[in-house]
């Protein structure tokens, strides 16, 4: 049966299918999350939310390059106190797990925001320790194993919901960072966030993004993301959520074979719409059936046999 083939248990969360909305793509309000679920997502991750409201950077905040998008939104968000209302509302209307993405400028901030999100009903938390373009948070935390461990331990001690940690590819060894995160108690690892990038306009010689530097997403980063998942799978036992450039079932299968237990989709929503989730899910189901697998879990990490 189709349902059985696609279900996954991700660190205790039951997903009807292994596709999830990536953080920062829409994800501001309960209603938009609802429309993503209507498109077929098995779980949703909210926009990253912090302790205080943030307006983000000046436009241009998104620029298209030949093989993807570079964005420097600057983590615009209403702050956790205002966001709690959206979480409560989302919990009322969504029939899939709701994961709240959290960022902070200190371990205390990560813990406070996580606690408020969990109390409001988040089914799990995803710590954004990998945003490449905001100073003193994001990848500045995710690049340093000692600080990262402290953040995770503090959050784990504060909430009793599963804690995912979203890793940055902008490091020398993502497997080292993954190991530190797993040791500190992360229940799952999301790989990867965007890759530091920029675009310059030849006519004016100006960097295009308001913030000059941003993060690359989309098909350009898929091979890098697959390698990251592969590396992490070799080193740690916690489930991995693959993310980066997924737009088709083939892309998704590649991530499962590399070691991912679920996948997140972001940029492809701009090219298609939320229906991308259903298309990927159907293709994945057909693939599993054709190959004679009873559940998607059976292909996780298969490429490591060789």
Ligand X SMILES: Cc1cc2nc3c(=O)[nH]c(=O)nc-3n(C[C@H](O)[C@H](O)[C@H](O)COP(=O)(O)O)c2cc1C
Question: CB 250 → another protein: shortest distance, Å?
Answer: 10
Binding site partner of 194, from another protein, ligand X, none, Cβ cut-off 5-8 A by kind: ligand X
Question: CB 205 → another protein: shortest distance, Å?
Answer: 9
Q: Is 47 an interacting residue with respect to ligand X (CB under 6 A)?
A: yes
Question: CB 68 → ligand X: shortest distance, Å?
Answer: 7
Q: Is 162 an interacting residue with respect to ligand X (CB under 6 A)?
A: no
Q: Is 168 an interacting residue with respect to ligand X (CB under 6 A)?
A: no
Q: CA–CA separation, 243 vs 254, rounded Å? A: 11
- Which residue's Cβ has the minimum distance to ligand X? 24
Q: Which is nearer to another protein, 128 or 267 (CB)?
A: 267
Q: Which residues bind another protein (CB under 8 A)?
A: 24-29, 31-32, 34-35, 47, 53-56, 58-64, 67-69, 71, 73, 76-79, 82, 201, 203-204, 206, 208, 210, 218-219, 247-248, 266-273
Q: Which is nearer to another protein, 3 or 66 (CB)?
A: 66
Residue 124: strand pairing partners: 99
Instruction: Point out the residues that are catalytic.
Output: 131
Question: CB 208 → another protein: shortest distance, Å?
Answer: 6
Q: Which stretch binds ligand X (CB under 6 A): 11-19, 65-73, 84-92, 293-301?
A: 65-73
Q: Residues touching ligand X: how many (CB under 6 A)?
A: 28
Chain residues in the site for ligand X (CB under 6 A): 22-25, 47-48, 62, 69, 71, 73, 75, 101, 128, 131, 166, 193-194, 217-218, 221, 243-246, 265-268
């Amino acid at each position: 049966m189709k349902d059985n083939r696609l279900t996954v248990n991700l660190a205790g969360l039951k997903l009807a299918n292994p596709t999830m909305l990536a953080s920062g793509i829409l994800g501001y309000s309960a209603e938009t999350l609802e429309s993503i679920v209507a498109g077929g997502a098995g779980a949703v991750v909210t926009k990253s939310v912090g302790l205080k409201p943030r307006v983000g950077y000046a436009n241009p905040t998104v620029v298209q390059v030949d093989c993807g998008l570079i964005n420097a939104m600057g983590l615009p968000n209403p702050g956790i106190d205002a966001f709690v209302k959206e979480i409560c509302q989302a919990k009322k209307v969504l029939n899939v797990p709701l994961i709240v993405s959290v960022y902070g400028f200190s371990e205390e901030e990560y813990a406070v925001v996580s606690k408020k999100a969990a109390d409001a009903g988040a089914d799990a938390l995803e710590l954004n320790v990998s945003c490449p373009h905001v100073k003193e948070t994001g990848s500045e935390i995710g690049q340093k194993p000692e600080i990262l461990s402290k953040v995770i331990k503090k959050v784990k001690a504060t909430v009793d919901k599963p804690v995912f940690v979203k890793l940055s590819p902008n490091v020398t060894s993502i497997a080292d960072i993954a190991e530190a995160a797993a040791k500190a108690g992360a229940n799952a690892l999301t790989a990867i966030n965007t890759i530091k990038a920029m675009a310059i306009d030849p006519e004016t010689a100006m960097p295009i993004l308001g913030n000059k530097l941003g993060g690359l997403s989309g098909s350009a980063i898929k091979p890098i993301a697959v390698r990251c998942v592969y590396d992490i799978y070799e080193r740690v036992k916690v489930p991995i959520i693959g993310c980066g450039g997924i737009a088709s079932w083939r892309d998704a299968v590649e991530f499962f074979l590399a070691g991912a237990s679920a996948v997140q989709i972001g940029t492809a929503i701009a090219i298609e719409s939320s229906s991308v989730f259903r298309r990927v899910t159907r293709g994945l189901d057909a693939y599993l059936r054709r190959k004679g697998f009873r559940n998607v879990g059976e292909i996780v990490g298969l490429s490591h046999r060789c």
